[in-house]
A and B are shown apart, each in its own frame.
Chain A
């Protein structure tokens, strides 16, 4: 049986992972909805209409599941980490207050959007989707500021373990906020873009090459391929920022044991002293971070062994995230190439089965990259829950065992919920009873 701290960490990690998958659709799907509905309004093409109605319905389900999992997180913050909440809740509370209102607004405008098709004129209906997109993105942005604050805590004064004064806007002033928020928003776009494209690619592999699938595929791909190059650039920004703000995390994600001129290490396992089995590119890390191959990069040796994060997990998660990111970049380039050839009279973008298979994989790949990235930032911050201020181990709960068992059962239910929720939005158009979406 796991010890209480590990069980609590595991529970939190699973709850957060579950929630974030549904939350990214809350951020990204409204963008697709707005684009598709705009296409329908401008062109009158009923295929766009069919896509929008389908996506809106799927959005409703995903939103509901996201809402329940969000409630779970609110409880778990208290049940699993009461000392953390008690000490710092007042400092980063504003992030969650803003997030709650953004969520409430999103729920309201979702109601208008889902039910207003025949009550509002088309353009007015489209406008109800705008607050949906804005509120969804804002909500996730606000929540990310809380996490950014945990990584780079600023704006408060502590005495004897109690916060005696705090800047109300502290989470928004955290140095990590800009890059974390942008990175998260773009990641959501990638997940939704490739996720939606993957759904229609599956249908196409099964032989359904109608207008419905083609447009669904192209809408997803446009979002994904626009977001990915941007994300690579943002990722570079984020890594440099982490190098400056949380050197131990950077050292862990790169698997850098010793301070000095640093190589880029791909893969490998950390044995407590150095990384073993990695592919080393000498001087490349120094070059990437500081522009010179002999620039000094802080390694794990700047912190005592007890203060080092779990290196292997952080490093491999980082390599996975970056690897998948570059894989998606390659897919984006391939997509661009195919589109260019198709424009010049070559084969259609979706004509290649191998290409479609790659698109199918890209959906889960984007989500895997998302989760890997969160592993990097959360595990890389250990042993701190608030960087350099509060250790995760000082959880402070009493009698946690029974509570953890109960939460584990809840987790099982969530898994069943996720399976059930995944059912109602299957790939493929509804039955072909009208000519609207056949062919």
Chain B
């Protein structure tokens, strides 16, 4: 194993972290968009309370993936940027819109006596943008797997979107994000002792699981048709990993059915990690099939060991700091998610409720002190 492989593993780790954390974040936005029924306001409140604290920490993984790519495999970064300009630009637009809507909603309504007009509109923006980005990132993944990049396949800017597989992959990505979020929200609703919300999100999670399952089943023949080499490798090298993924998915759904939400989260994570791992295993050493291998795309050889060392050292410092953060706050006492009130500077320390703001916190917990 070379330093290049090491950097690749770190990038894969970043992708997994982004899918699990950022994906759940996007999924929350999807449920905000699809909030229905008698409790829809509480559903939206729960989503907002859950996303608020962890928003930045969820999306920092995307930065690491991008930086790992251009530091370790700059040729691939360039080719991907050239080959996927439209889906990447749309994904970015989604990220920016989400960021704008999020900050606006989070910090804009500080004074209840001065409600900001158009807050509901920003809510819509947030929810729609939350759906666009996962779809686009799914399309990007599919395009890389099948070699359908602008300039390398017919269709110009629309090349990554052509065919069945990218559409399935995009939809599947949203479905998985929605499932991850719903499973998470079940647990959050349970902790808040809200049986109606818990039941709501459990139903939604099951629905998302069905949709994801159907799409995954549809995706396999589409992948086989569009990327026969990758398909063959998936079956030969990565078969055990795919089986693991299926088992994880099934276990998650069974746990969900039986109202065991923590186990459901674990199963879902196993399924997601296995799919990403299996895909990487199958595609290796082609970074972009038909275009670039890992070796061809790698940065100048002297830089790779240093890049890898810095990445590992960096995580060795930051991950324990993250753990320290979570430890300092320990187990929170939980207040109702409706108390999404701004912190009031007039209250002397030791009383009142601290508002949720930015920062990598255990999601959804409110601190009462």
Contact pick for B349, options A111, A118, A399, A431, CB 8 Å: A118
Cross-chain contact B103 with A64 (CB below 8 angstroms)? yes
Answer yes or no: B293 CB below 8 A from chain A CBs. Answer: no
Interface residues of B in 75-121 (CB under 8 A from A): 75, 77-82, 85-86, 88-90, 92-93, 95-97, 99-100, 102-104, 106-108, 110, 116
Cross-chain contact A410 with B74 (CB below 8 angstroms)? no
Would you give the shortest CB distance from B148 to chain A, in whole angstroms? 14
B residues near A, CB below 8 A? 53, 55-57, 59-60, 62-64, 66-68, 70-72, 74-75, 77-82, 85-86, 88-90, 92-93, 95-97, 99-100, 102-104, 106-108, 110, 116, 150-151, 156-157, 298-303, 305-307, 310-311, 314-315, 317-318, 321-322, 324-325, 328-329, 343-346, 348-350, 354, 357-361, 367, 369
Interface residues of A in 413-430 (CB under 8 A from B): 413-414, 416-417, 420-421, 423-424, 429-430
Given the known A-B contacts A75-B66, A168-B303, are A85 and B103 also in contact in the complex, defined by CB atoms under 8 Å?
no
Answer yes or no: A60 CB below 8 A from chain B CBs. Answer: yes
Of the stretches A158-166, A235-243, A250-258, the one at the interface is A158-166
Please, how many angstroms separate the alpha-carbon atoms of A108 and B95 in the complex?
Answer: 21
Cross-chain contact A63 with B63 (CB below 8 angstroms)? no
Would you give the shortest CB distance from A402 to chain B, in whole angstroms? 6
Would you give the shortest CB distance from A82 to chain B, in whole angstroms? 4
Please, how many angstroms separate the alpha-carbon atoms of A313 and B68 in the complex?
Answer: 36
Closest to B359 in A: A111
CB-CB under 8 A from B318, the residues of chain A are 101, 104-105, 108
Given the known A-B contacts A75-B88, A107-B359, are A82 and B67 also in contact in the complex, defined by CB atoms under 8 Å?
no
Cross-chain contact A168 with B307 (CB below 8 angstroms)? yes
Question: How many A-B contacts at CB < 8 Å in the complex?
Answer: 283
Given the known A-B contacts A65-B103, A89-B299, are A398 and B150 also in contact in the complex, defined by CB atoms under 8 Å?
yes
Given the known A-B contacts A71-B62, A114-B359, A434-B348, are A96 and B70 also in contact in the complex, defined by CB atoms under 8 Å?
yes
Cross-chain contact B100 with A86 (CB below 8 angstroms)? no
Cross-chain contact A107 with B71 (CB below 8 angstroms)? no
Given the known A-B contacts A71-B59, A417-B104, are A168 and B78 also in contact in the complex, defined by CB atoms under 8 Å?
no
Given the known A-B contacts A107-B56, A410-B93, A417-B100, are A85 and B300 also in contact in the complex, defined by CB atoms under 8 Å?
no
Would you give the shortest CB distance from A49 to chain B, in whole angstroms? 8
Please, how many angstroms separate the alpha-carbon atoms of A125 and B290 in the complex?
Answer: 54
| Smallest CB-CB A-B distances: 5 pairs | A93-B71, A90-B299, A86-B78, A111-B359, A89-B74
Contact pick for B103, options A71, A163, A421, CB 8 Å: A421
Answer yes or no: A327 CB below 8 A from chain B CBs. Answer: no
Please, how many angstroms separate the alpha-carbon atoms of A50 and B343 in the complex?
Answer: 12
Cross-chain contact B300 with A110 (CB below 8 angstroms)? no
Given the known A-B contacts A64-B358, A436-B346, are A101 and B74 also in contact in the complex, defined by CB atoms under 8 Å?
no
Given the known A-B contacts A64-B56, A166-B300, are A72 and B96 also in contact in the complex, defined by CB atoms under 8 Å?
yes
Given the known A-B contacts A60-B358, A93-B307, A406-B90, are A78 and B78 also in contact in the complex, defined by CB atoms under 8 Å?
yes
Given the known A-B contacts A103-B60, A104-B60, A417-B103, are A74 and B67 also in contact in the complex, defined by CB atoms under 8 Å?
yes
